Homo-oligomer: A and B are copies of this chain.
Amino acid sequence: MSVTAAKGFRAVGLAAGIKCNGAKDLALVVNDAVAAVSAVAAVFTVNRFAAAPVLVSREAMALAEGGYSLPRAVLLNSGGANACTGQDGYDDAKQAAGALARRLGLKTEEVLVGSTGLIGERLPMGRLLAGTHQAVVNLGATEAAGLAAAEAIMTTDTVPKTAVATGAAGGYTIGGMAKGAGMLAPALATMLAVITTDAQIDNPTAQQALEQACRLSFERIDSDGCMSTNDTVILLASGASGNQPEPQEFADRLTAVAQDLARQLIADAEGAHHEVSVTVTGALTEDGALKVARGIVRSNLFKTAVAGGDPNWGRILSAAGTVPPEDAPFEPNQVDVAINGVTVCRHGGVGEPRHLVDLSGRQVDVVVNLNAGPSRATIWTNDLTHEYVSINADYPS
């Protein structure tokens, strides 16, 4: 159901000719409610080479935070990232936002924009603007419209990603879509995601909930350690249900939707044959557990071993051992490692025989117990396969 599941939203996805292959490449999501009952929140990449659409959307969000305007439409394209395109690229993004705003009767700063695709190329603005006009005509509130939007933001994704949840007692709905299969790492670990809700919330509640949701979802997956220039997660609220949820309850439901989308991203990560969870337990702090888990999921040697069905726990420990002691205190000779339930390493040394580990299934669960404290954290990743190399060696440029 995606972004049209919640009341008060219309969406569309179509082929505007931005991609060479004729696939869908342009999506709109529009909140039809008036500003007074609407809310908006957004989280962006922290990459210093933030793409032009990120710069334009950040400006719009800054105005929204100041109370000057309230973004209620999102224009997204695949087929080009509009990143590292200088002033020209910025002007392109601004022009696209302005064109959509005029068609919807909004101000330019009430439109957010997002792009994904190759870095360092201008967008074909003629096709994008013509496609935008066409898209406004085709906006719809149906399930099909929401699905088409999710399809239009795909790049190397093989399936669209959507998720839906309902609030307490069915009082409101949250629905979302996301794309991302490579350049997938915190923070964020996605490329583009739009989530809509008909809950009636204010901007600070929306922003706080979205930050919690991202922290526990998109920022806990890491496919290839590569941070994108275009990462954008947007939450639009229409208030159309009339339901005003308790903020923490709303944040938790939103987190569930974001986690659902995040897991779908990892499951469809470029070339992945295994989905891998790395859980670090027994850490002094959650942050320390996260740092050790991130060290492990960034190891190409660990990830190629998983691809080869090899429970090579030495590569897990050698990666964990690169985390500075001040970041995560532990004693190397106290660390246990279990892979799919077999404790192959005990107290930093040899444990159960590694041949007992079954890696024939798609799911691989690694648990590293630091035996140094009460905290834990999980990062989701995938294996590093021949297909990953093929996809990224041959990505068109």
Give residues in A with beta carbon < 8 Å to B. 47-50, 81, 83-89, 118-122, 182-183, 224-229, 298-301, 304-305, 307-315, 317-323, 325, 332-333, 344-345, 347-350, 354, 384-386, 388-390, 392-395, 397
Q: Which 5 A-B pairs have the closest CB atoms?
A: A119-B314, A308-B393, A86-B349, A304-B392, A49-B321
CA distance A320 to B350 in the complex (A): 39
Chain B residue at minimum C-beta to C-beta distance from A328: B48
Interface of A is mostly: loop
A189 to chain B, nearest CB (A): 13
A305 near B392: Cβ-Cβ < 8 Å:
yes
CA distance A301 to B84 in the complex (A): 17
Contacts A229-B321, A322-B227, A349-B84; is A315 near B119 (CB within 8 Å)?
yes
12 contacts between A and B (CB under 8 A): A47-B321, A49-B317, A49-B320, A86-B333, A88-B349, A120-B344, A224-B301, A304-B389, A304-B393, A307-B389, A307-B393, A311-B397
B397 near A49: Cβ-Cβ < 8 Å:
no
Copies of this chain in the oligomer:
2
**A228: B residues at CB distance < 8 A:** 318
Chain B residue at minimum C-beta to C-beta distance from A391: B304
Chain B residue at minimum C-beta to C-beta distance from A301: B226
Beyond contacts A182-B301, A300-B388: 18 other A-B pairs, Cβ-Cβ < 8 A, are A48-B323, A49-B317, A49-B348, A83-B317, A84-B317, A85-B350, A119-B312, A120-B344, A120-B354, A224-B301, A225-B298, A227-B318, A227-B319, A229-B317, A300-B384, A305-B395, A310-B395, A310-B397
A260 to chain B, nearest CB (A): 26
CB contact between A350 and one of B84, B298, B318, B333 (< 8 Å): that residue:
B84
A389 near B384: Cβ-Cβ < 8 Å:
yes
B299 near A226: Cβ-Cβ < 8 Å:
yes
**A122: B residues at CB distance < 8 A:** 350
**A312: B residues at CB distance < 8 A:** 118-119, 395, 397
A392 near B308: Cβ-Cβ < 8 Å:
yes
**A121: B residues at CB distance < 8 A:** 350
**A310: B residues at CB distance < 8 A:** 393-395, 397
CA distance A384 to B304 in the complex (A): 12
Contacts A86-B349, A321-B47; is A354 near B397 (CB within 8 Å)?
yes
CB contact between A224 and one of B300, B305, B320, B394 (< 8 Å): that residue:
B300
CA distance A87 to B50 in the complex (A): 50
B397 near A389: Cβ-Cβ < 8 Å:
no
A385 near B389: Cβ-Cβ < 8 Å:
yes
CA distance A390 to B305 in the complex (A): 10
Chain B residue at minimum C-beta to C-beta distance from A330: B48
**A118: B residues at CB distance < 8 A:** 312, 314
A208 to chain B, nearest CB (A): 25
CA distance A388 to B87 in the complex (A): 40
A308 near B395: Cβ-Cβ < 8 Å:
yes
B385 near A315: Cβ-Cβ < 8 Å:
no
**A50: B residues at CB distance < 8 A:** 321, 332
A117 to chain B, nearest CB (A): 10
CA distance A389 to B388 in the complex (A): 9
**A345: B residues at CB distance < 8 A:** 84, 120
A392 near B354: Cβ-Cβ < 8 Å:
no
CA distance A299 to B228 in the complex (A): 11
